[in-house]
Amino acid sequence: MAHRMFRHLQRLKTQAAGLLADRRGSVMQLFAFALLPVMAASGLAVDGTRLFLVRDSVQRAVDAAGLAAGHTLQVEDMEADARSFFDANFTNIENVATVTNFDMTTNADNSVIDVAATVSVNTTFMRLFGFDSVSFTRTAQITRETRGMELALVMDNTGSMRGGGKMSAAITAAHNLIEAVFGDDDVNPNLWVSLVPYTATVNIGTQHSEWLTLQGQANIGTGGSYEPTAWRGCVEARDGGLDETDDTPDIAPFTPYLYADNVDNDWILTDSDGNVTGFDLAEQNSAQNNGRGPNLGCGPPITPLVASKAVLNAAIDQMEPWHRGGTTGNLGLVWGWRALSPSWRSFWEGTALNTLPLDYEEPFMDKVVVIMTDGQNQFFDFTGHEPDDGDGPDGSDYTAYGRLGEFGFSSLNAARAEIDDRFARTCESMKAEGIIIYAITFGSTPNSSTQNLFRTCATKSSFFFHAPSNSELEDVFTTIGRQLSNLRISE
């Protein structure tokens, strides 16, 4: 047994020696052995480069996703926005990478956002060593910084707001929004809000008489057209396209709104000889469509940017439905812009006279307008006054644009279309400056055309709301307030 084993070993030794002595094909053998590590190194380099590119792409996409979530106003949209931005920024190198998991989480108050993505990358040469794919996870954490906000509430105060408790609902709704953005604080140094009521004109406040033309300033003074009462603060629309801009009064001053004595507003009483015997100055809100006087239809004044919840709530409580004239939502909107425009810095009074409104694109600062209407833009013609039913001369009541004929139209529908066009252009100009717009239609009057007008005006479709009922209007303002509260802590 041992002898046979010895002989077998000797035979193997002899065969091995023969193989070593044989030089046939030696170069090919050596080359093959040498090529293996070269190929392995090259394969690792190719796969490694691919992995590096994919990893870099995933990290950039994860970072973009986190930042997008941080900028989202609605909490429920955060994950969808994050995934959308991840997909838009992730470059799938040669279609060999597969996202196997994407996850976004936030802490309790949504102030910290964590984003993670796991990707599997197919290999080529590493397969030779048993590695068909390589997986890795990239993460990003975004801490949302505290932001400030300048907010203008542009509120319909026209006569149609009287019926069905609409104005009461609007007041409650506005209070809800103020409560949501201020929270428990009465004063917030990073939050300023303006209230802009509108009717067929807008009231800038009597303290701003220096914004008027020289002729206008003279006319509101002693011996002017408003006596024996006084100018309440409403102004007419500027012509030449300036009713759609944020140009300041030093560039183009305003004309005071004056609803002159006429058949549909007979407030100067005369005898048969034409002598003035007295005045019917029923300008108070309770007179409704039977009101008379030079300020007929002039609603409450603008409240400039203020950081006090108490001041704003008091101004909201002063809102009332003022009759006659119609609805010019475009003028309410453009005055909301002027309340936020940095061009108007030093024009508005208040403690922040020389600092507000802040510049566009100010870091950690947002400018927001919320506009609400219960009807459609229109010229109104009240026919309830004698003689001859008191139809307004030139086709309508008086407005910030004068009467229908003075506006250049004989058709109420054509005039409405023109006001809508001006509204739409103002929306686009404001959004081009980075102003965020929420738009709300309220009640049964706004038709599909008006709803589409407001929907298009909104910064995004989800920022448009239609509230058919009073309770729904209150809910809408609460929802917007919560979204704006989230906005204040986003990066």
Rounded mean pLDDT, 94-107: 85
Does 133 lie in the same domain as 226? no
Q: In this predicted structure, which of 169-173, 184-188, 451-455 has the lowest mean pLDDT?
A: 184-188
What pLDDT shows up at residue 469?
A: 97
Domain count, the chain: 2
Asked if residue 50 belongs to a domain, the reply is yes
Asked if residue 198 belongs to a domain, the reply is yes
Average pLDDT of the residues of the chain: 86
pLDDT for 14 beyond 90 = no
Higher model confidence: residue 1 or residue 286?
A: 286
**Which of residues 143, 166, 189 is at a domain's end?**
143
pLDDT for 253 beyond 90 = yes
Does 138 lie in the same domain as 199? no
Does 450 lie in the same domain as 466? yes
Range of the domain at 232: 148-487
Does 257 lie in the same domain as 121? no
Asked if residue 12 belongs to a domain, the reply is no
What pLDDT shows up at residue 121?
A: 84
pLDDT for 487 beyond 70 = no
Does 212 lie in the same domain as 184? yes
Q: Which residues pair with 122 in a beta bridge?
A: 133
What pLDDT shows up at residue 56?
A: 85
Does 309 lie in the same domain as 356? yes
Does 37 lie in the same domain as 185? no
Asked if residue 299 belongs to a domain, the reply is yes
pLDDT for 491 beyond 50 = no
Does 132 lie in the same domain as 242? no
3-state secondary structure the chain: CHHHHHHHHHHHHHHHHHHHHCCCCHHHHHHHHHHHHHHHHHHHHHHHHHHHHHHHHHHHHHHHHHHHHHHCCCHHHHHHHHHHHHHHHCCCHHHCEEEEEEEEEECCCCCEEEEEEEEEEECCHHHHHCCCEEEEEEEEEEECCCCEEEEEEEEECEHHHCHHHHHHHHHHHHHHHHHHHHCCCCECCCEEEEEEEECCCEECCHHHHHHECHHHHHHCCCCCCCCCCCCCCEECCCCCCHHHCCCCCCCCCECECCCCCECCECCEEECCCCCEEEECCCCCHHHHHHCCCCCCCCCCECEEEECEHHHHHHHHHCCCCECCCEECHHHHHHHHHHHHCHHHCCCCCCCCCCCCCCCCCCCCEEEEEEEEECCCCEECCCCCCCCHHHCCHHHCCCEECECHHHHCCCCHHHHHHHHHHHHHHHHHHHHHCCCEEEEEEECCCCCHHHHHHHHHHCCCHHHEEEECCHHHHHHHHHHHHHHHHHHCCCC
Asked if residue 306 belongs to a domain, the reply is yes
Asked if residue 14 belongs to a domain, the reply is no
Does 153 lie in the same domain as 139? no
Does 413 lie in the same domain as 381? yes
pLDDT for 18 beyond 60 = no
Model pLDDT for residues 435-450, shown as the tens digit of each residue: 999 999 999 999 999 9
What pLDDT shows up at residue 3?
A: 47
Domain with 62 in it: what CATH number?
3.30.1300
**Which of residues 80, 108, 143 is at a domain's end?**
143
pTM here is 0.75
Does 225 lie in the same domain as 212? yes
Domain with 200 in it: what CATH number?
3.40.50.410
**Which of residues 125, 143, 161 is at a domain's end?**
143
Asked if residue 3 belongs to a domain, the reply is no
Model pLDDT for residues 104-130, shown as the tens digit of each residue: 998 876 778 899 999 988 877 666 666
Asked if residue 263 belongs to a domain, the reply is yes
Does 344 lie in the same domain as 479? yes
What pLDDT shows up at residue 12?
A: 44
